[in-house]
Amino acid sequence: MSNHLPRVFKNPKSLPAHLMCTICNEIFTDPTRVSCGHTFCSHCILQWIKKSSTCPNCRANIDKKGTGKDLIAAADINLLTVVCSNQGCSWFGALEILESHHKECPFHPERLDPWFLEQLQRDGGTKNDNATPTVRLISWLYQKNAAALKDMFSNDDKEYSSIFEIQEENTKQKKNAKRKQEIKNENCKKFLNSKK
């Protein structure tokens, strides 16, 4: 099982409802079925049984003895698409192959070039950054030719010390241009109003 690896589902908004635990509202972890037929995460239902003797879904009487693994739910969950949680990695695939991907993921912190890791973490090192075009592009370049990418950004006389500064600069320029246009429009309006 890949339970010890973080499960980040690719389509969190369209996860199958029948694989959701009604106690924690997440996809089951170690799906466990109780005697009435309902399934919950193993840790969720074990905690519940300590306090209650009825099923949280249908109020049927349940006890710890009647619980067992729900292998069908487990197999279904293993087929759900997850993304790799390593920063910079754009891999996604079935949960059941996540563990083998992690073993060879070029973006695993233990395998990643420290220089590249620094680039990734320099600006806003959140997981969501995997989705930005800049991160996707440099991650792709890194996978294709790490040495060339490193070389490109290692010139002493270069204008930018970080790949991300380029992105930042672009955003700034766009904002400035927008503001300038707004001022222009305002002045134009003022002028027209004064002529009325």
- Enumerate residues 6+ apart whose C-beta is below 8 A from 17: none
Should residue 38 be labelled a site residue for Zn ion when binding is judged by CB under 5 A?
Answer: yes
Lookup result for tokens 């440099």 = 138
Q: Of these, 36, 46, 117, 146, which contacts Zn ion (CB under 5 A)?
A: 36
Should residue 84 be labelled a site residue for Zn ion when binding is judged by CB under 5 A?
Answer: yes
DSSP 8-state assignment for residue 14? G
Nearer to Zn ion, 8 or 166 (CB): 8
Q: Of these, 23, 80, 141, 166, which contacts Zn ion (CB under 5 A)?
A: 23
Binding mask 146-175 vs Zn ion (x if CB under 5 A, - otherwise)? ------------------------------
Beta strands in the chain (DSSP E): 8-9, 31-33, 39-41, 68-69, 81-83, 92-94
Q: Of these, 3, 10, 52, 58, which contacts Zn ion (CB under 5 A)?
A: 58
With vertex at residue 77, the alpha carbon angle to CA 52 and CA 60, rounded to the nearest 5 degrees, is 25
Q: What is the DSSP string of 131-148?
A: GSHHHHHHHHHHHHHHHH
Q: Which residues bind Zn ion (CB under 5 A)?
A: 21, 23-24, 36, 38, 41, 44, 55, 57-58, 60, 84, 86, 89, 91, 105, 107
